[in-house]
Amino acid sequence: MTFLFASWHIPNINKEAALDEILKIEEKYWFYEPYRHTHMLPMMTKDGKIGFNGTSNLRHGELKWVDYACPTIKSYCEQILFPLLGMNTRIVILRTAPDSANYEHIDCSPEWQFSRQHKFRIVLQGKTDSLYFIKKSGKHFVPDIDTPFLMDGSWPHGMINNYNRYKYTLVAGSPWHGLDHYNNLNVLMVRDNNEIPIDYEKYYQKN
């Protein structure tokens, strides 16, 4: 499906309960991720590993919940999200400080560019309209919505936290790459390959 951003009208998580549980987790389990300029808290990783190495796409093993995983997030993913995605996938929480920006980036490797690279997101605290996609004509911010949403991770994007508190986002991605069809999807921004920046390759992660 050729969209950049779409609201997905599926059952939502109890955001207040999930955030309350996240805030009780010790700071030592968070780590800074320099490519996106944000802090990450793994929830489900290969073999339940924690920290930066646990979130690597290159790690082999079975996807498992980490020991400190939040009950509300576990229940939501197992009962609602994973059945809709058709598989288990990595689950991570992103935390971005007020007035801070996530670096502009692409969420896939070059060989997967222009393939189906859908990413699932729920903003637990903050606003969705801080997210933007980069086209030839400049930055295009997404609408502010309250539902879960899907986005195209193969297109250059960034985020400026325009909220006066920390932004917390629940994310699901690799090894899930998306579906051919979704029920209850409302496409709010259409993807157009002709408008991608000429220099888009600069947004890939450098090894």
Residues facing residue 150 across a β-bridge: 6, 120
d(CA 99, CA 110): 30
145-163 residue pLDDT tens: 999 999 998 899 999 998 8
- Of 9-13, 74-78, 81-85, 152-156, least confident by mean pLDDT is 152-156
Residue 4: name the closest of 170, 131, 184 by CA: 131
pLDDT interval class at 194 (50, 70, 90): low
Cβ atoms of residues 87 and 120 within 8 Å? no
Distance CA 76, CA 166 (A): 22
Name the phi and psi angles at 111, rounded to 5. -70, -15
**Residue 60's pLDDT is what?**
72
Decide: 36 and 102 in contact? Cβ < 8 Å. Answer: yes
- pLDDT for 57: 61
Q: Does residue 55 surpass a pLDDT of 80?
A: no
Please say if the pLDDT value at position 207 is more than 60: no
DSSP annotation string for 19-77: HHHHHTS-GGG-EEETTTTEEEEEEEEETT--HHHHT-TT--S-EEE-TT--HHHHHHI
pLDDT score of 39:
93
Residue 85 has pLDDT above 80, yes or no: yes
CATH class of the domain at 3-28+91-203: mainly beta
191, pLDDT greater than 70: yes
Residues 42-56 have a mean pLDDT of 81
Could you tell me how far CA 62 lies from the centroid of its own chain?
20
pTM for the full predicted model: 0.92
Nearest of 119, 30, 28, 18 to residue 75 by alpha carbon: 18
pLDDT at 136: 86
pLDDT tens, position by position, 121-143: 999 999 999 999 999 888 999 99
